Amino acid sequence: MAEFIPLLMFITICLVLMLGYPVAFSLSGTALIFAGLGIVTGYFDPTFLSALPNRIFGTINNTTLIAVPLFVMMGVMLEKSRVAEQLLGNMASLFGSLRGGLAISVVVVGTLLAASTGIVGATVVTMGLLSLPTMLNRQYDPKMATGVICATGTLGQIIPPSIALVLLGDILSSAYQQAQLNMGIYNPKTVSVGDLFIGALVPGLLLVILYIAYLFIYVHIRPNAASRHQNTERVSVPQLLSGLLPPVILIIAVLGSILAGAATPTEAAGVGALGATLLAAFKGELTIPRLREVGQSTVKVTCMVFMILIGAAVFSLVFRGFGGEEQIHHLFESMPGGVMGATLVVMIVIFLLGFILDFIEITFVVVPIVGPILLTMGVDPIWLGIMIAINLQTSFLTPPFGFALFYLRGVAPVSVRTSDIYRGVLPFVVIQLFLLLMIARWPTIVTFLPNWFASL
């Protein structure tokens, strides 16, 4: 009976979320109900719950997460000051001759934002605030609009500089050295975060190209999914640059400060929030009522994001208390198939864990266990790191548990149904799985650039 409880938890939370209850309270509430029943029946050790205050404090005390409210403020400021509408409008003018030009411009803008934040929650929320109202106002299909926003929002996992790649690079470096020592190599090679950054460039760009190609084909097959009032109005170059250049410069400044090593993502978030405020002031949109509105929206969205993180922490703690993590490990150990079989099992396990754990927990709990084993079997560390990053990105996007879907649901209008979001992201999940298969079949997609730079 006890071994089925983690599976029952998984099924229950799926049903509760499908009924439309708030995500954060669904995660924590379901977990606490199961924990209470487990304590009464003797299947759950109540001492597990004693770790809950430390886990919540660790979430709140995580300095990296300080970037969340700052990036949220940046997105809200750009939206409330009408910069977002001008930015997307001008980007759509660039693609005005194409059907669905606004959706394609969302991919371009979302890619820049994803690169500048590196945090899935902040990127999805920012893109949701930045572009979803504009797309809905222009009569875009809600499924298409929410799907492209969620998909581009998760690009922060793979497009450098990415916090996920930084953490993976540190863990894989230690795992690679341990694997080589286990093989009797006492002068081990090293793998750095920079190697992962270089290795992620081609897959990240491929993913963006595949997104745009899908949108281009989809809107020609189903014209009603795109705007019924295409913005084909020609604008002069000065008009185009006046709306496009300032926000693009802001995004590039955020990204450039990180790439140049002048700022951490949290510090760069401060640059983005300040820059968005100055941009609003420059456009004459910064007033006391608008500042109050921005502050209230920022607090509301930030609370939503942190409540989801806390709810996920409670759920994962109870899930582990019922032995769910051990069951996953036993499944991995019992699977045959050599290197490919072991790698496939690891990818499936990480994909499933991505539903209930964030990438930081997976990086520090799962990768140190499975990493040395796979690297000892001859798996390339850079290839493995990129596969894990894209896999997690796909997990965060997959219904019904994808964190990106939760974040967008929190900022989407009531008129947008949860089922619209779920159906909208499915094609992008397929695209990401296709990219994973491409990288598995042709590893040089990842390893070519790092090897070329190493040879210089």
- Condensed to tens digits (0 to 9), the pLDDT of residues 161-214 reads 666 777 787 778 877 877 777 777 766 677 777 788 788 889 999 999 999 999
Which pLDDT belongs to residue 84?
A: 59
Query: 115 pLDDT exceeds 90?
Result: no
Query: 399 pLDDT exceeds 60?
Result: yes
Which pLDDT belongs to residue 335?
A: 66
Q: Measure CA 343 to chain center.
A: 22
Q: How far is CA 287 from CA 283, 293, 422, in A?
A: 11, 10, 37
Highest mean pLDDT among 110-124, 348-362, 408-422, 431-445: 431-445
Q: Where in the chain are the domains?
A: 64-294+318-456
- Condensed to tens digits (0 to 9), the pLDDT of residues 265-282 reads 678 778 888 988 888 888
Q: What distance in Å separates the CA atoms of residue 200 and residue 383, rounded to the nearest whole number?
A: 9
Which pLDDT belongs to residue 234?
A: 61
Q: CA torsion angle for 36, 38, 41, 45 (degrees, to 10)?
A: -100
Number of CB atoms found within 10 A of residue 268's CB: 25
- pLDDT grade, residue 413 (50/70/90)? confident
Q: What distance in Å separates the CA atoms of residue 117 and residue 62, rounded to the nearest whole number?
A: 16
Q: What distance in Å separates the CA atoms of residue 108 and residue 212, rounded to the nearest whole number?
A: 9
Which pLDDT belongs to residue 337?
A: 67
Q: CA torsion angle for 112, 115, 119, 124 (degrees, to 10)?
A: 20
Query: 25 pLDDT exceeds 80?
Result: yes
Say which range, 21-30, 233-242, 396-405, 423-432, has the weakest mean pLDDT: 233-242
pTM of the model: 0.70
CB 191 within 8 A of CB 382: yes
Residue bearing the bigger pLDDT, 21 or 73: 73
Q: Which amino acid would we find at residue 167?
A: L
Stated length of the chain: 456
- For all residues of the chain together, what is the average pLDDT? 79
Which pLDDT belongs to residue 442?
A: 92
Q: What distance in Å separates the CA atoms of residue 68 and residue 419, rounded to the nearest whole number?
A: 26
